[in-house]
Structure 1
Amino acid sequence: MGGPEQLLASLGGSAAASDMRRYFSQRQLERAVLGGGVVRPRNGVYALASLDEAHRVALECRGVLFARSAALAHGLGVLERPRAVDVAVRRGTKIRAHPQANIVTRLLPEEDLVRVGVVTATSPVRTVLDCAAQLEFAEGLAVADSALRCGLVTGSQLTSAAEAWIGRNKRALRRVLAHMDGRAANPFESGLRAACLEAGVALEPQLRISTRGGTFVVDLGSALYRVTAEADSFEWHGGREALHRDCTRYNELVRDQWTVLRFSWEHVMFDRAWVGQVVADVIRGSKRHNSRGRNAKTVHSAA
């Protein structure tokens, strides 16, 4: 069977002290802790020292992973990782401050909880609703888009659960559910779309555009106004081949009378109001241009 570390690994990373003592003496367990491979996140529990930080903190707080930390545990994308681990404990539980945790009290029905590795987290549906209600619109939208994209939830599941929601910020929750879209390629793109929506502009994710130079898929676009908005990350566009491909795509779109707007991660993360205003102003300009074109045709026909 090996030592305490091997047993913990086979059990998923943590175990109750009573279970460990079935196989090892107290001295063997203490030796494993002194050796650095095993830790005691709280009384009555042993865990691998290599355990994921969020899992370890949740164990130490006697809580469940919540909001963005739960989203990450489920493999969902988030626009920004939480600086502290989001942990929820049941109402009425005595809370001790933890330097690495953001602890909240919540009603935590068993049907809203699932096991993720060695810890408990809110279910994917509950996680999406919590994020939508608690976080900024862009953050909540990124999690909801990701959950749909990964197939962990369906729109009908979220809508049904939202109808029974008894927490705060129901309006914010409904707003996210009204605009979530599983076609969004990543959280960065979701954040860009949120910035547009906050400025009153709805763009279609992953819009396919056919031009004389080929067919291209843009991050966000409007076929009506021939405007695209691209979420340009250095990681994705930094190579020579990627740069060449993107230059070709952008130029072909412009040649076909499309307006191409490009936004960096910094724009989306730190200046979303400006991003939304730029897109809205360009759309308004397109509307005026189209209106002038129609008026000119009407005058010419009358003449």
Structure 2
Amino acid sequence: MVTREQALAAGFSRHEIDNQIALGRWRRLARAVYLIAAPSEEAVLRRSRIRAAVLSLGPAAHAVLGTAAELHGIAGLRRLDEIHVCLPGRAARGARIRDPAIVLHQLEHPPEAVTTVDNVPVTGPLLTVAELILRQPRYPSVSVLDSALNRGLISADDLAAIPSMIRGRRGAVAARGYLTEANGLAQSPLETRTRLRCVDGRVPPDCLQLEVRDDDGYLLGVGDMGWRAARVIAEADGRDVHSAPNALFGDRHRQNRLVNAGWTVLRFTWSDTLRPDYIPSVVRRALMSRQPG
């Protein structure tokens, strides 16, 4: 069990706590007291498969890339059945792979770069992120960076160390560009993708997690991203978080408060981010409509 006060003291924001409840990960037992739900059977089976795959390849094996990100809880990649495992040179050449889902990588990692998650050897968060952004396109790469920063798995100082880690490697030039776009205030890959669509459409938000308060300082709501001068907010509505009944009612009440305070609230879904021109065109029209005259 955890109380709301304890969760806030541990670094959770009120928004994050409400998301955990809406997702069903936390169950309300009493006022401001929650039970942290046990993982689903599917999640347990997935972790068991990963653990078995790594153990089957000997003591030098460890999870890497997308599987390492999955174990660390870093979001932003498509969830696939593949299990990415690494072995150093000679061990990799002699490995026998029995599970068709295992993707074996021949990589050399120093011992200090490997940690454990749920008793599974895995590359640490910083190395995991650095190796992923060398291999992934821009949107998933920035989403991975945002997620790792948001969860506190890496810091801004860690980001500054990545260019030296990837220097001279294939994909390093593009990866250095992804680093400049990372923002740990984004709370989901959907928020990251929505922001990047706005950036690409030349209507970048000037603030993330924008707090809107009334004249007395009362918090009316927090917008995922905002354009403060035009009083426009964009919300990234994830299906899992915002489809729960409590979340739907909460979203409506918060939107009503913001609209009554003079703000325009736009809402975008994952499918909206698949159309390069849609989000920026909607934002641009909202910004233009708020211009005087």
TM-score exceeds 0.5: yes
The offset of 1:211, in angstroms, is 5.1
> Does the 8 A contact of 2:74 with 2:147 survive in 1?
yes
Partner of 1:31: none
Letter matched to residue 194 of structure 1: L
Distance across 1 between alignment mates of 2:62 and 2:201: 36
CA contact (8 A) 2:86 2:107 kept: yes
Note the C-alpha offset of 1:287.
5.4
Shift of 1:96: 4.7
Q: Does the alignment pair 1:180 with 2:182? A: yes
Matches of 2:46 and 2:247, distance apart in 1: 37
Q: In structure 1, how many angstroms separate the alpha carbons of the residues matched to 2:185 and 2:278? A: 23
Name the structure 2 match of 1:264: 269
- Which residue is 1:245 aligned to? 250
* Matching residue of 2:56: 60
For 1:24, the equivalent position in structure 2 comes to: none
Work out the percentage of aligned pairs sharing the same amino acid.
27
Q: 1:127 Cα deviation (Å)?
A: 0.7
Task: Work out whether 1:130 is the aligned partner of 2:135.
Answer: no
Shift of 1:290: 6.1
Distance 1:169 1:75 in 2: 24
Q: What do the CA deviations read for 1:51-79 (whole angstroms, capped 9, x no partner)?
A: 62112112234532111211222233344
Offset of residue 173 of structure 1? 1.8
| Cα distance change, pair 50–155 in 1 and its aligned pair in 2 (3 A) | closer
Task: Give the secondary-structure state (helix, strand or coil) at the position aligned to 1:153.
Answer: coil
* Conservation of the 8 A alpha-carbon contact between 2:242 and 2:248: yes
1:217: how far off? 0.1
For 1:168, which of 162, 167, 170 is the aligned residue? 170
2:4 aligned residue: none
> Conserved in 2, the CA contact under 8 Å of 1:141 and 1:179?
yes
Q: Which has the higher contact order (CA 8 A, sep 6+)?
A: 2
The two structures, once aligned, show a CA RMSD in angstroms of 2.9
Contact 1:225 1:283 in 2 (8 A): no
The structure-2 alpha-carbon separation of the partners of 1:286 and 1:244, relative to structure 1 and needing over 3 Å to count, comes to closer
Largest Rg, 1 or 2 = 1
Alignment match, 1:109: 110
2: CA distance between counterparts of 1:90 and 1:267? 42
SS in 2 for 1:80: coil
In the superposition, relative to structure 1, how do residues 194 and 69 fare at CA in structure 2: closer, same or farther (>3 Å)? Answer: farther
Deviations 1:106-142 (A, max 9, x none): 3323332223343321111101111222123232223
- Give unmatched runs, 5+ long, in structure 1: 1-48, 297-303
**1:79–1:139: 8 Å Cα contact kept in structure 2?**
yes
Distance 1:200 1:101 in 2: 41
Residue of structure 2 equivalent to 1:70: 68
Q: Aligned partners of 1:283 and 1:120: how far apart in 2? A: 45
Kept after mapping to 2: 8 A contact 1:131/1:140: yes
Show the counterpart of 2:241: 236
- SS of the equivalent of 1:164 reads helix
SS of aligned partner of 2:127: helix
| Residue pairs, 1:87-106, within 5 angstroms | 87-92=85-90, 93-94=92-93, 96-97=96-97, 98-106=99-107
Q: Following the alignment from structure 1 to structure 2, what is the Cα–Cα distance between the partners of residues 124 and 232?
A: 27
Instruction: Tell me the SS of whatever aligns to 1:52.
Output: helix
Change (3 A) 1:242 1:194: same
Take 1:237 and 1:163, find their aligned partners in 2: how far apart are those partners? 40
Query: What is the distance in 1 between the residues matched to 2:143 and 2:184?
Result: 10
Residue 223 of structure 1 deviates from its aligned partner by 1.2
Superposition deviation, residue 174 in structure 1: 1.6
Residue 257 of structure 1: how far off its partner (Å) = 4.3
Alignment of 1:1-303 (within 5 A): 52-62=48-58, 63-92=61-90, 93-94=92-93, 96-97=96-97, 98-166=99-167, 167-203=169-205, 204-210=207-213, 215-268=220-273, 271=274, 274=275, 276-286=276-286, 288-289=288-289, 293=292
Q: Distance in 1 between matches of 2:267 and 2:50?
A: 35
CA contact (8 A) 1:66 1:88 kept: yes
Going from structure 1 to structure 2, the CA distance change for 1:286 and 1:119 (only over 3 Å counts) comes to closer
Q: Secondary structure at the match of 1:207?
A: strand
What is the rounded CA distance, in whole Å, between the counterparts of 2:46 and 2:196 in structure 1? 37
Report the AA paired with residue 160 of structure 1: A
Secondary structure of 1:130's aligned partner: helix
Residues 64 and 240 of structure 1: CA distance in aligned 2, closer, same or farther (over 3 Å) = closer
